[in-house]
Amino acid sequence: MNKCLQCGKCCQAIPFPLTKKVLMEEENPAESVRFILRYWKRVSAKKASVILDNDKLFSNFLYYECSLFNKESGLCGIHNDKPSVCADYPYYGKSPEEYASQPDNIIYSKCGYLNE
């Protein structure tokens, strides 16, 4: 548990509840919001489902992929300088046990952070 497998699925099918249009309406956007607006692009639910090996999709979320993810290497292009929206994934301030026990967590079921 708690080990990234570097599969890249969290960078290619990112569940996020807001559209970019909503984010652009923020007056003083945080660093993470500016990052999302610049580097994330929408992907269809169908494409997200394929990326996630037909895992469950979250009905109230849109899916994005990050343009800084290198599909050939399977690594983030700015790994050491990732903004908090990426670096804090998947727990966002919770313990791994607390996060895994939540029925509404938004993590790929085969993610190494949840599985050994």
CA angle 91, 65, 86 (to 5 degrees): 30
Whole-number Å distance between alpha carbons of 62 and 98: 24
Residue 45 falls within a domain, yes or no?
yes
Residue 91 falls within a domain, yes or no?
no
Neighbouring CB atoms inside 10 A of 17's CB total 10
* pLDDT at residue 115, as a whole number: 63
Residue 67 falls within a domain, yes or no?
yes
| Residues 54 and 2 sit within 8 Å (Cβ to Cβ) | no
Give me the domain span that covers residue 41. Answer: 9-78
Residue 105 falls within a domain, yes or no?
no
79 Cα distance to chain centroid: 14
DSSP state of 100: H
Q: What is the number of domains present in the chain?
A: 1
Residue 71 falls within a domain, yes or no?
yes
Q: Residue 56 is encoded by which pair of tokens?
A: 């469950």
Residue 44 falls within a domain, yes or no?
yes
Walk along the chain (116 residues) and give the pLDDT tens digit of each residue: 567 788 888 899 998 888 999 999 988 888 889 999 999 999 999 999 999 888 878 878 899 999 999 988 888 999 889 888 888 877 777 777 777 677 666 777 778 776 65
